[in-house]
Structure 1
Amino acid sequence: MTYPLVRHRRLRRTSVLRSMVRETILTASDFIYPVYVTHGENKVEEISSMPGVYRYTLDHLEAEIRDIVAHGIPSIMLFGIPEHKDEVGTSAYDSNGIVQQATRRIKEWAPELIVMADTCLCQFTDHGHCGVVKKNEHTGEAQVDNDPSLELLVRTAVSQAQAGADVIAPSNMMDGFVTGIRAGLDEAGYSEIPILSYSVKYASAYYGPFREAANSAPQYGDRKSYQMDPANFREALREAESDVAEGADMLMVKPALAYLDVVRALKENFDLPLVAYNVSGEYAMVKAAAANGWVDERKIVLETLLGMKRAGADLIITYHAKDAARWLREVQNG
């Protein structure tokens, strides 16, 4: 009998050997945890489609922030649900808006925690779209008007920076949003504040639970005219290339799980830090399957997050962050 000269299993024989030759390492430092804040008092509201994820009023937010820090998670992505909505999302750029209030308090409680502010209008407009809506003079259809939307997004970004946000994270997918926000931040004296661009954001069915969480579903139409077609790959490279040229400091792919090929492509083509967004629908599917006993939640979450890291993500926005950080610490401690 002829035996193989190369035996790949030799380096898989023990757990110590496997850890020594492991190519991809996942740690709590890789995670960005989404946090939802809302107006009112004495509210901790669990989001029905996202078990374990809550909306917090400011009087309950401190305990959550300290718990995040205790888990070793270095950063949060902050989303706000305003008290008032209107056609132009006034609450998004109000200096006393919910995101601005929360940011100021978080930086007092945990100055070392990196606060990334989601910069969009959809949670703040009464129509649920990510910009200013106008009627097309030829067809009569309502559509998002790109350039006037940019002006409001710049105002939002500047107000978030003024409140103490460490990173501005525009998610609106308007053309030229990085150029506009970079210029606005620089002019306002915030040239040191980086921009994490939602460079490649698909018009995805995976966002459903988020729209419940942030109360941001469009009241009519959809977002396909400004978010990307899930069928397109080369377009993702063009979107990212534009953002790099416009001065983005970090790039993002959203969602992550169904677009790992895009994550890999951006990693290979651009040298900026790359973020993958493990979105609400991905989280909800795992939680539902785990609740029914169909999957081992711990194992499948860590494998999924490791896959995103292996595909090229330097950082991962994930609702699993606290659980994953705890599980990784347990593995490390034996």
Structure 2
Amino acid sequence: MKPTIAPFPAARPRRTRKSEAIRGLVRENSISVDDLIWPVFVRDGEGIEEPVNSMPGVMRRSVDKIAQAAIEAAALGIPAICLFPYTDASLKTEDCAEAWSPDNLTNKAIRAIKSVAPDLAVMTDVALDPYNINGHDGYVVDGEIVNDATVEALVKMTLAQADAGADIIGPSDMMDGRIGAMRQALETTGHHNVMILSYAAKYASAFYGPFRDAVGASGALTGDKKTYQMDPANSNEALRMIQRDLTEGADMVMVKPGMPYLDICHRVKDTFGVPTYAYQVSGEYAMIQAAAQNGWIDGEKIMLESLMAFKRAGCDGVLTYFAPAIAKYLQA
């Protein structure tokens, strides 16, 4: 599109900014509660809401409290909730078998949510790091994160979550070929309508630190994740990864992190025109919250502006820890 504008004073762009009513008429993007996926952390126990110190306002919740959070989300109109487990250290092993246990925290939480809020979409995380004694998203063999054996484990994890009632599978592992393997397994076992929202362009970012604290993976991690997560310097590679996952059967795709990668979000949506999501990750959230708590910024305005940036870049929705606060603001 080539902009056309008359010379001043025939054109006075300030005319369309003169009042809130006029600004609303010409506004190009808007935020809706339908744009939100709420990531939540589940832990063992009962009646527990445990603050995550590096993420002000975020809790690790026991399964019964996760169910209460789901009721809250449904009441606010939030369409989806995404589960991340804080696994007890005693359950973290080399073979990561807890990842596909029918009674692990994620699968218990799925069933609990569906019992109290059946219309709320439940998204899950598929990666081995919450269950891996090494803290990695895949199996570690002689210091190498191996691909194909990891994919086999991820398929078992996927099927366990689908059996528990998950609506959306979220593979965050960045192993090669995992989307095709998961899609084939879901089709073969009759889970035809379970969707895959692929973390298709997930970067090896320093913005994930608070999240790793929240799921208890930071202390276990040996080395880094640069052999499977993407180099932050690369943009064209993201398009190749998106195309690959779409051809393997992903229904939706995600860019992670969010705001530092808005250029990637825009390129993905512009190139493929598919449902495109971003994850406003823990580091982004923590920075906004910390600055707001110190009085350096207006936290509410920054929260809303950051969400608008995702929509402007072309995102159809955002995973954000601000989801309840945004929903409440939109209801006011």
TM-score (norm 2): 0.95
Q: In 2, Cα distance between the equivalents of 1:186 and 1:82?
A: 29
Q: Partner residue of 1:121?
A: 128
Q: In 1, Cα distance between the equivalents of 2:10 and 2:175?
A: 57
Identity of aligned residues (%): 45
Alpha-carbon shift at residue 209 of structure 1 (Å)? 0.3
Equivalent residue for 2:327, pick from 322, 325, 328? 325
Within 5 A, what are the aligned runs for 1:99-118?
A: 99-118=106-125
Task: Specify the code of the residue in structure 1 equivalent to 2:28.
Answer: E
Number of aligned pairs?
A: 323
CA RMSD of aligned residues (A): 1.1
Q: In 2, Cα distance between the equivalents of 1:59 and 1:250?
A: 30
Task: Specify the code of the residue in structure 1 equivalent to 2:246.
Answer: V
Q: In 1, Cα distance between the equivalents of 2:250 and 2:65?
A: 34
Alpha-carbon shift at residue 221 of structure 1 (Å)? 0.7
Within 5 A, what are the aligned runs for 1:170-209?
A: 170-209=171-210
Q: Partner residue of 2:3?
A: none
Q: In 1, Cα distance between the equivalents of 2:25 and 2:95?
A: 54
Per the alignment, in what secondary structure is the counterpart of residue 195 of structure 1?
strand
Higher mean C-alpha deviation, range 69-78 or range 246-255 = 69-78
Alpha-carbon shift at residue 270 of structure 1 (Å)? 0.7
Q: What are structure 1's unaligned runs of at least 5 residues?
A: 136-141
Within 5 A, what are the aligned runs for 1:302-321?
A: 302-321=304-323
Q: 1:277 to 1:6 in 2, by over 3 A?
A: same
Q: In 2, Cα distance between the equivalents of 1:118 and 1:253?
A: 15
Equivalent residue for 1:57, pick from 59, 62, 85? 62
Equivalent residue for 1:287, pick from 267, 289, 293? 289
Report Cα offsets for 1:275-303 as digits up to 9, x if no partner: 01000000000000000000001111100
Q: In 1, Cα distance between the equivalents of 2:258 and 2:31?
A: 16
Q: Partner residue of 1:246?
A: 248
Contact 2:79 2:120 in 1 (8 A): yes
Contact 1:88 1:131 in 2 (8 A): no
Report Cα offsets for 1:83-130 as digits up to 9, x if no partner: 311012111100111101110110011001000011111011111101
TM-score (norm 1): 0.95
Q: What are structure 2's unaligned runs of at least 5 residues?
A: 1-6
Is 1:31 aligned to residue 32 of structure 2?
Answer: no
Is 1:91 aligned to residue 60 of structure 2?
Answer: no
Alpha-carbon shift at residue 3 of structure 1 (Å)? 5.4
Alpha-carbon shift at residue 250 of structure 1 (Å)? 0.1
